[in-house]
């Protein structure tokens, strides 16, 4: 199994600012995914980064992965009020590799 | 990416009845599926892991007789909440993975027991 721990637990910023959240894990992984969850809704897949990648971009999202430090970061640039949500990282392998979620980072973007 | 579909997206049932939630992998064969539960303002808690054709493995503290999991095919797993009570009201999410693929998550099912 593999657990991701997000940091900080909560983050409050102004619209237009950048938001950075971090994820740490303990064992070797094959990939790491980031998800967003709006209050009371399901998970929305944001981005997947594989263990042989160091950085990946998708729109306003930038994800980095440092396998030597067993950590990942998610940067949301030019944040919007609609980015307000909880963000979870999911370190993963393949096959039956189960993911244990951390508490997530609650992001609040003030308009 | 691959698609995992859950049904229903929400359900309300009476206390004492049973509810079945389906998790389907639409465009890949899911050898393993995971079921999670999430209470309000909390993180997702892994309930069990199911492999196609074999019995599910439950996490500590999860009652296997209450949460029946069936993974009879490579595209479908079901979670049945038996004799549901109000404290079972929660958000249930499944994820599915093939042999060499990462896990993909369903949209979740909100269960309310009245």
pLDDT given at position B1 = 61
pLDDT at B94: 94
* Predicted confidence band of residue B13 (pLDDT cuts 50, 70, 90): very high
- The pLDDT value given to residue B104: 85
Q: Which residue has the tokens 């009371």?
A: A40
**In the prediction, which pLDDT does B80 show?**
97
Residue A54's closest CA among A46, A64, A45, A69?
A: A64
- Could you tell me what percentage of chain A is helix, strand and coil, using 3-state DSSP and rounding each to the nearest 5? 5, 55, 40
Q: What letter would DSSP give residue B79?
A: E
Other Cβ atoms within 10 Å of B7 Cβ, number: 14
Q: What is the mean pLDDT of residues A100-111?
A: 92
Q: Which residue of B has its CA nearest to A6?
A: B43
What DSSP string describes B5-52? EEE-SEEEE-TT--EEEEEEESSS--SEEEEEEE-TTS--EEEEEEET
Q: Are B4 and B28 in contact (CB under 8 A)?
A: no
Q: Is the pLDDT of residue B43 over 90?
A: no
Q: What is the pLDDT of residue B101?
A: 67
Name the band, by pLDDT with cuts 50, 70 and 90, for residue A55. Answer: very high
pLDDT value at residue B42: 85
What's the pLDDT band for B99 if we cut at 50, 70, 90? Answer: low
Task: Give the residue among A2, A32, A108, A39 at the shortest CA–CA distance from B42.
Answer: A39
Q: What distance in Å separates residue A89's CA from the closest CA in chain B? A: 11
Interface-testing mutation among A5, A42, A58, with chain B (most B C-beta atoms within 10 A): A42
Both structure tokens of A8: 């900080």
Burial class for B54, CB neighbours closer than 10 Å (0-12, 13-18, 19+): exposed
A95 pLDDT above the threshold of 60: no
pLDDT surpasses 80 at A76: yes
**What are the structure tokens assigned to B77, written together?**
């797993």
Q: Is A16 helix (H, G, I), strand (E, B) or coil?
A: coil
Nearest to A42 among B32, B101, B108 (CB): B108
pLDDT of residue A102 exceeding 90: no
Helix then strand count (H, E) for chain A reads 0, 12
Residues of B in contact with A1 (CB under 8 A): 46
CA distance linking residue A63 with residue A56, whole number of Å: 5
pLDDT one-digit tens code per residue, A19-44: 999 999 988 888 899 999 998 788 88
User: Residue A92: which pLDDT band, with cuts at 50, 70 and 90?
Assistant: confident
Compare CB distances from A96 to B32, B40, B107 and report the shortest one's residue: B32
* Residue B5 CB coordination number (10 Å): 16
């Amino acid at each position: 199994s593999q657990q991701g721990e997000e940091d900080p637990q909560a983050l409050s910023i102004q619209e237009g600012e950048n938001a950075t959240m971090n994820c740490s894990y303990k064992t070797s992984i094959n990939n790491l995914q980031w998800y967003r969850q709006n209050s009371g809704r399901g998970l929305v897949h944001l981005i997947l980064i594989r263990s042989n990648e160091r950085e990946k971009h998708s729109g306003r999202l930038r994800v980095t992965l440092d396998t030597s430090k067993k950590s990942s970061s998610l940067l949301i640039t030019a944040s919007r009020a609609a980015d307000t949500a909880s963000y979870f990282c999911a370190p993963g392998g393949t096959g039956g590799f189960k993911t244990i979620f951390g508490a997530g980072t609650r992001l609040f973007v003030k308009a | 990416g691959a698609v995992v579909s859950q049904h229903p997206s929400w359900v309300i049932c009476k206390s004492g009845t049973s509810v079945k939630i389906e998790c389907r992998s639409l465009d890949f064969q899911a050898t393993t599926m995971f079921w999670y539960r999430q209470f309000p303002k909390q993180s997702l808690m892994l309930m069990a892991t199911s492999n196609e054709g074999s019995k599910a493995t439950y996490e500590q503290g999860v009652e296997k007789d209450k949460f029946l999991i069936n993974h009879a095919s490579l595209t479908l797993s079901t979670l049945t909440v038996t004799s549901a009570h109000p404290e079972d009201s929660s958000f249930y999410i499944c994820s599915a993975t093939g042999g060499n693929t990462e896990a993909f998550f369903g949209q979740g099912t909100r269960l309310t027991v009245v």
